[in-house]
Amino acid sequence: MMPGKRRVQILVPEEVSTEMKKVKDSKMPAKRRMKILVPEEESTETKKVKVSHPSHCSQPGLVLTLGQGNVGQLGLGEDIMERKKPALVTLPEMVVQVEAGGMHTVCLSQTGKIYTFGCNDEGALGRDTSAEGSESSPGLVELQEKVVQVSAGDSHTAALTEDGRVFVWGSFRDNNGVIGLLEPMKTSSVPVLLQLNTPVVKIVSGNDHLVMLTVDGDLFTCGCGEQGQLGRVPALFATRGGRRGLERMLVPQLVPARGRGRRSKMRFQDAFCGAYFTFAVTREGHIYGFGLSNYHQLGTQDTEPCFSPQNLTSFKNSTKSWVGFSGGQHHTVCVDSEGKAYSLGRAEYGRLGLGTGAEEKSTPTVIPELPSIVSVACGASVGYAVSSDGRAFAWGMGTNYQLGTGEEDDVWSPVEMTGKQLENRRVLAVSSGGQHTVLLVSDKEQS
């Protein structure tokens, strides 16, 4: 018989050994690997570590959709082409997170299951939709692991499991079409595991890129990098990886980020995406960004794309702590710890929420006449804010009824979203793909 605590040798980086409270020799090189004897039972438990992050949602609610539904993205059945006011989606269980992709919707249930509906042309639903009309109603994604967070782009979806692994399905695209998912030109209609050696604590998607924040405070990115949104691919190689090919884009790699000291490494605590750009918040609260900024949507002084992380000084204010960002195609909405919402970038169609005649902004500008805000969201040319008392406000392009006003007019200042399904319910979250909007609301009236 084998002894119950057979000892095995495990190689771990020195910095990890520090976290395990092992003795660290200050004279050892930073990346030298050392041997540590760990009981086999203990090493097994290490693999089962559960990740956590403030962005993981836990409050269950119901799902409402409105706007354009021509490819089933409203989840209301194949006969519903649009909704002017929020409509209830029938799901088998309560939901804790909703994400609107370009033309599909992803719902995460309170038991860690994923339901999807909408366009499945490139596999973004992660399930079989061969039965006629099945893409227009919520369907379960076959994934055995418990999921704690989801993200959605134009044609891809990602899921973060409770032990820090990331599964993806669908495809990334660039200006010339499909580029693939994990391998060049290969899409996947079912979840596939991303190969990362470190547990991930948060995932977030742009239109065609995925950002992953690890437990160590590093950022990994993959997908399209044409506009600099990966933060690690120089302009010279941004089109399909240049000489190195698409693997350079599709294989998740570390975003290099150095602190002030030559040897110091920058650690991040949060990350957010716009359609073609990325925001990252350091553990000290500094804001960095990379990607498209042709309308100053990153808060940069010029309009050149940023292909590596830039310290965004327009967000530097000793009295402010930024807690949330969301980006559309050419604009950004953000919120600070005091509950004030701001916008910057392109102004057309009212997407900044700054009133009729507002012009492009290169610095965060307070959106007036809003109550205390807890979260913000953007679609391509729209903006949303959820207040601390559970109301949702919308502004921007209204062409597809996605603002909930019941009209197709553009809205230049925030208006409260209304409808029968919103009566006596708190709004918990909003997500928009641009032409359709998804709300997560309380099951019943809450104080």
Rg, Å, the chain Cα set: 22
The whole-number pLDDT of residue 13 equals 40
402 belongs to a structural domain: yes
pLDDT of 261: 61
* 248's tokens: 């350079």
- Spatial separation of the C-alpha atoms in residues 241 and 408, rounded to whole Å: 41
| Residue at 356 is within a domain | yes
Instruction: Quote the pLDDT of residue 317.
Output: 78
Tokens of 147: 């999921």
| Sequence letter at residue 91 | L
Number of domains composing the chain: 1
Quick one: CA dihedral 316, 232, 150, 440, positive or negative?
positive
Domain residue limits at 373: 330-425
In a domain, 201, yes or no: no
DSSP strands (E only) in 41-103: 62-68, 82-88, 95-100
Residues 206-263: tens digit of each pLDDT: 999 999 999 999 999 999 999 999 999 999 999 988 877 899 999 999 999 877 666 6
Look at residue 10 and tell me if it is in a domain: no
Task: Name the β-bridge partners of 147.
Answer: 161
DSSP SS3 for 38: strand
Q: What is the dihedral of CA 391, 397, 402, 408, to 10 degrees?
A: 110
Q: What is the pLDDT of residue 224?
A: 97
Strands 166-170, 188-193: pairing is antiparallel
Q: Are 89 and 104 in contact (CB under 8 A)?
A: no
Consecutive 10-residue averages of pLDDT for the chain (447 residues): 41 39 38 40 55 97 97 96 97 98 98 98 97 97 97 98 98 96 96 97 98 98 98 93 88 88 83 98 95 98 96 87 97 97 98 97 96 98 98 97 96 97 96 96 72
CA–CA separation, 216 and 200 (whole Å): 9
- Tokens 């693939």 belong to residue: 180
| Structure confidence at residue 445 (pLDDT) | 60
Q: 286 to each of 184, 307, 308, 314, how far by Cα in Å?
A: 35, 18, 15, 11
Three-state DSSP at 421 gives helix
Kind of pairing between the strands at 436-441 and 62-68: antiparallel
What integer pLDDT is reported at residue 444 of this predicted model?
73
Q: Which two tokens stand for residue 364?
A: 């965060």
Q: Are residues 339 and 322 in contact, defined by beta-carbon separation less than 8 angstroms?
A: no
Whether residue 48 lies inside any domain: the answer is no
DSSP state letters, 195-258: --SS-EEEEEE-SSEEEEEETTS-EEEEE--TTSTTSSS-GGGTTTTGGG-THHHHS-EE---B
Q: Distance between the two ends of the chain, CA-based, in angstroms?
A: 61
Q: Is residue 320 part of a domain?
A: no
Residue 348 lies in a domain: yes
Q: How far apart are CA 396 and CA 82, in angstroms?
A: 18
Residue 349 inside a domain? The answer is yes
What is the C-alpha to C-alpha distance for residues 274 and 272, in angstroms, rounded to an integer?
Answer: 7
Phi, psi (rounded to 5 degrees) for 282: -75, 165
- Identify the pLDDT of residue 225: 97
pLDDT of residue 98: 98
The pTM for the full model equals: 0.88
Task: Express as a percent the part of the chain with pLDDT over 70.
Answer: 87
